[in-house]
Amino acid sequence: MKKLLGIFLAVLMIASMSSVGFAADSEEWNEYWKTDEAHSGVTVFPGGDETQRRISWYSDTDALPKVTLTDSEGKSEIFEGRCFKTYDGAYADKVTVTGLKEGETYTYTCTSGDYTSEVYTIKTPSGSDFTALYLTDIHISEGEEQNEGEDSLRDDSFIFNEVLEAAGKNAEPDIILSAGDQATQGLESEYRALAASPAYRNTSFAPVIGNHDRKGVAYKYFKNVPNEDTSNICGSYIGFDYWFVKGDTLFMVMESNNGSGIDHRSFMRSAVNANKDVKWRVVMMHHDLYSGRIPHRESENKLLRLIWGPLFSEFDIDLALLGHSHYYTVSNVIYNNKVTAEIKGNDVLTNAPGTVSMVSGSLNHPRNDPPEELGLNDTAGYYYAQQGDQVLYSMIDFTEDEICVRSYSLDTGEQFNSLTLKKDSQKGGHPQKSAPFYQPAVNFIGTVYQFFNNISVYDRLKESGFEVGLFEVLFNTKNP
């Protein structure tokens, strides 16, 4: 039986090497789920640029972690890294591979002690064009009312694998952009399940910290992201803002659970200054700002807009990929929290006078409230009224001349919306106006608020039985 399972897995692995999709029906997935390899958490995070990738996985040993990278001509190189003991008593192994050439297909294996992973692939794009899969609120959950424990992890990760398979049929993504709430309780088991799909291991994964990722402590050891801003006055205990450049796009990935406006502005200014020649600027963060789809969240949204709206405008952000509300929406074009152009659906905008923000539903928990029970404010442009329980995802083509978003339903297989942004210079149509006069005060108040919020987070974690130190939580002094 074990031998048969091995042959079956080998066939699936080989199939998965030919495209990002990993075709498996639920029975095949359940068999794969029984293997140790499904739970090893192998993840490829982006490097600071295309010449690097940052790889992580879990093991039960503190042996030196190594990645063997082999190019298309069979030439191998071994990269060594570091390991960190997780709160669950396992080890998080982290290795950075460097010197990647464009337009190349590499294979890699991860080794620590007796563990050697299966063979996976890293493909680098030719030139600056690339395709991303954007999704949000994957919500891998250990334990829910109707679907407890192990089955829940297995079934949630199966749906994620189904999306990867469908996305791979549309266009092979070079990277997965995930706008937060990868996990529901922030547990290590949830991140292991998130990383189960071999298709996931054959592309890069750029995660955002969601409010649910922040319920636990495991995200801190799961992630291995580049250019984190560890100089924060007031940080978040599981991670920081980080940036990377891919093609002609600067991605600024913000920790929006952290209200420290002073730190976020400082981070964005230094990320932009370090990449002055990069044409497109994209923000990824978890909290939705403009959809207005959930009335009871509107007071929170108003506060968040005070901090984030002027930052998006000051730094000429073209597109913001958000999450949190679990409802597909595309905002109107916004500048300093005011609508400057309208969005209707299937839009093509040239030199948009501000930022467009969007939310791509939720993978495992789409909101199915009837539209008449949800409020809309004037910042929301297009929303997908037929969303119901559908699983949605978007493919985004990034080129020098345009960013083109195509949004799909996994359930119907149909493309239901698109958004194309074009601009003829780096500035495009972004207006040249100053931030509101009260902005420094807002940013300062946000930083003070975060300090006290971190104290309450420390109390919560201690009450939950986590062995964390006060300074570790206040200032993230133990960032792996």
Q: Which stretches of the chain bind Fe ion, using CB under 5 A?
A: 137, 181
Question: Which residue number, 239 or 354, has a Cβ lying nearer to Fe ion?
Answer: 239
Question: Which residue number, 168 or 323, has a Cβ lying nearer to Fe ion?
Answer: 323
Question: Which residue number, 155 or 288, has a Cβ lying nearer to Fe ion?
Answer: 288
Minimum CB distance to Fe ion, residue 450 (Å): 21
Minimum CB distance to Fe ion, residue 241 (Å): 20
Minimum CB distance to Fe ion, residue 188 (Å): 19
Question: Which residue number, 54 or 326, has a Cβ lying nearer to Fe ion?
Answer: 326
Q: Print the SS3 string covering the chain.
A: CHHHHHHHHHHHHHHHHHCCCCCCCHHHHHHHHCCHHHHCCCEEEECCCCCCEEEEEEECCCCCCEEEEECCCCCEEEEECEEEECCCCCEEEEEEECCCCCCCEEEEEEEECCEECCCEEEECCCCCCEEEEEECCCCECCCCCCCCHHHHHHHHHHHHHHHHHHHHHHCCCCEEEECCCCECCCCHHHHHHHCCCHHHHCCEEEECCCCCHHHCCCHHHHCCCCCECCCCCCCECCECCEEEEECCEEEEECCCCCCCHHHHHHHHHHHHHCCCCCCEEEEECCCCCCCCCCHHHHHHHHHHHHHHHHHHHHCCCCEEEECCCCCCEEECEEECCEEEECCCCCEEEECCCCEEEEECCCCCCCCCCCHHHCCCCCCEEEECCCCCCCCEEEEEEECCCEEEEEEEECCCCCEEEEEEEECCCCCCCCCCCCCCCCHHHHHHHHHHHHHHHHHHHHHHHHHCCCCCCHHHHHHCCCCC
C-alpha span between 274 and 239 (Å, rounded):
21
Question: Which residue number, 137 or 255, has a Cβ lying nearer to Fe ion?
Answer: 137
Question: Which residue number, 355 or 362, has a Cβ lying nearer to Fe ion?
Answer: 362
Question: Which residue number, 137 or 248, has a Cβ lying nearer to Fe ion?
Answer: 137
Question: Which residue number, 21 or 216, has a Cβ lying nearer to Fe ion?
Answer: 216
Minimum CB distance to Fe ion, residue 268 (Å): 24
Minimum CB distance to Fe ion, residue 235 (Å): 22
Minimum CB distance to Fe ion, residue 362 (Å): 6
Question: Which residue number, 201 or 287, has a Cβ lying nearer to Fe ion?
Answer: 287
Measured at CB, which residue is nearest to Fe ion?
181
Angle at 427 between CA 424 and CA 431, to 5 degrees: 120
